[in-house]
Amino acid sequence: ACCSRDTATVQALGRQLAGKLCRLLPIMLSPWFLLACPDASFGDVFAAAQGKMPEWVHLREVLEFVSAAHDCQRALVGLLHSLGYIRGLLQNLGFPEGRRLACMWKYATLGNHASPPLVPQELSTGQRMRLRWHLGVMECQLGAAAPFAGAAVRWAASARCAPCCASG
């Protein structure tokens, strides 16, 4: 749902898993999944392009999210911890975020069956093309929007500062 930017499904799953803090779920999985949030700002896009959390995400909200996820589904906390640990290791090894997400999507797709086979099949050509398309679109959107988002964030910060500086 996050990779294909299906905001309705992302929000429904987020509400089910984390209640009112559902907006954090895609971002906790990957900063790129910010594109699945319907109300992402320029600052959010700029942070995602840099692989960072948006400015509005504070430690207290993350702790509340983890607590809500723990109350709802204990396995989710373990999954998020594991994904975060793996993400950190892969970043240190220079493994691109897009490739990490491609692996996540591949195995999520292969395991998305009522009774998955003991030995997973390979993705079909259509599934591989869809995966590459969606990840390519996400990467292009972040890459194209990041410079403008960064400029917009700097302009907004200077516009807020301008009255103080002008009067000083």
Torsion, Cα of 99, 105, 111, 113 (10° steps)? -160
For tokens 């009255």, name the residue: 163
pLDDT in tens, 20-31: 667 777 777 777
Q: How confident is the model at residue 51 (pLDDT cuts 50, 70, 90)?
A: confident
The burial of 4, by beta-carbon neighbours within 10 Å (0-12 exposed, 13-18 middle, 19 or more buried), is given as middle
pLDDT in tens, 60-119: 877 777 777 666 666 677 777 777 778 888 888 888 888 888 888 888 777 777 777 777
The one-character DSSP state at 54 is -
The two tokens of residue 94 are: 């220079």
Q: How confident is the model at residue 158 (pLDDT cuts 50, 70, 90)?
A: low
The two tokens of residue 40 are: 């992402």
Q: How far apart are CA 17 and CA 37, in angstroms?
A: 16
**Neighbouring residues of 80: CB distance < 8 A, sequence distance ≥ 6:** 28, 29, 66, 69
Q: How far apart are CA 166 and CA 159, in angstroms?
A: 11
Q: How far apart are CA 141 and CA 66, in angstroms?
A: 29
Q: How far apart are CA 103 and CA 96, in angstroms?
A: 11
Mean pLDDT over 106-134 rounds to: 81
Q: How confident is the model at residue 41 (pLDDT cuts 50, 70, 90)?
A: confident
Mean pLDDT, rounded, of the chain? 75
